[in-house]
Amino acid sequence: MTDYAIGDIQGCYDRLQGVLAKADFSPSRDRLWVAGDLINRGPESLKSLRYIESLGSSSVVVLGNHDLHLLAVARGGHALKKKDTLRDILDAPDHQHLLDWLCQQNLMVHDADRNFVMVHAGLPHIWGVEQAMGYAREVESALRGPDATRYFEAMYGNKPERWNESLDGMDRLRVITNYLTRMRFIAEDGTLEFDSKESAEDSPEGFAPWFRYHRDDDIRVLFGHWAALEGKTDSERYIGLDTGCVWGGKLTMMNLDTEETIHCDCA
């Protein structure tokens, strides 16, 4: 069995099939790790979501901000945005099954044997791995539980901007969600900056890319979310898998054992 990790698909189904074909991927013997944002902005969100769901145990998925946005629209009463390409999912006869499946996916996964975690946006330096896993489980419990509608209704927002263990309720769940699915630039004290989406070299004053801070562990992090990086972090520990397919870049997949990368041009 070969395990592959792939960056933000965002509804680019044809490109997904193209890169899988290059690797001779077969769900009967291989497994696909998906770093979130399966859907939205690309032309075939429904086909992409159905395909990943159909892989069953041959996929490992973490939720990204676009995946949570679909759930917030469907189950939290939020409106679609102008650039969303989610209507085909919401109108599909199997949409409830697909939404239920999405809610069962994690925000963060840990492969102890390979010493890596996969998360959509990143792992903030202010949290250890076990801490972060525990916080991720809190959010996962909320979006699967009886108060899931309340979570999705109140999920959006930039406040609080910084983690504090004493936070509770939706403030606590929202800031955990933001660290794991929206983070790019962060301050030394853990304060998040949400306006900037540029490259790592264009940090706002007082902030730096989350992966530039020292960690006391040696964990490796697979992540997506930040297309402007073009996969470049200047570190072997932090592996950026979002290479901007939906924006005309590439769709990138990596063999987790050999670390060979396979690309499909999305121009």
Bridge partners of 64, per DSSP, are none
Helix (DSSP H) and strand (DSSP E) numbers for the chain: 8, 12
CA separation, residue 256 to residues 47, 208, 220, 243 (Å): 25, 27, 12, 17
Find tokens 């264009």 and name the residue: 202
Residue 198 confidence class, pLDDT cut points 50, 70, 90: confident
Task: Residue 197: name the closest of 209, 179, 188 by CA.
Answer: 209
By three-state DSSP, how is residue 100 classified?
helix
Burial per residue of 57-84, b for 16 or more beta-carbon CB atoms within 10 angstroms, e otherwise: ebbbbbbbbbbbbbbbbbbbebeeeeeb
Look up the CATH number of the domain holding residue 85.
Answer: 3.60.21.10
Would you tell me how many other CB atoms lie within 10 Å of the CB of residue 217? 11
Would you tell me how many other CB atoms lie within 10 Å of the CB of residue 2? 15
In this structure, what DSSP letter does residue 207 have? Answer: -
Q: Going edge to edge, which strands form the sheet with 116-119?
A: 108-111, 116-119, 220-223, 238-240
Burial per residue of 171-196, b for 16 or more beta-carbon CB atoms within 10 angstroms, e otherwise: ebbbbbbbbbbbbbbbbeebebbeee
Could you give the number of structural domains in the chain? 1
Whether the pLDDT of residue 267 is over 90: the answer is: no
By three-state DSSP, how is residue 40 classified?
coil
Each residue of 42-95: pLDDT tens digit? 999 999 999 999 999 999 999 999 999 999 999 999 999 999 999 999 999 999
The pLDDT of residue 157 is 97
The pLDDT of residue 191 is 98
pTM of the model: 0.97
Relative to beta strand 59-61, strand 31-34 is parallel
Q: Measure the CA–CA gap between 121 and 221, rounded to whole angstroms.
A: 10
Q: Measure the CA–CA gap between 10 and 161, rounded to whole angstroms.
A: 27
Domain that holds residue 87: 3-265
- Contact between 236 and 140 under an 8 Å Cβ cutoff? The reply is no
Each residue of 212-255: pLDDT tens digit? 999 999 999 999 999 999 999 999 999 999 999 999 999 999 99
Average pLDDT, the chain: 97
- Rg of the chain over Cα atoms, rounded to whole angstroms, equals 17
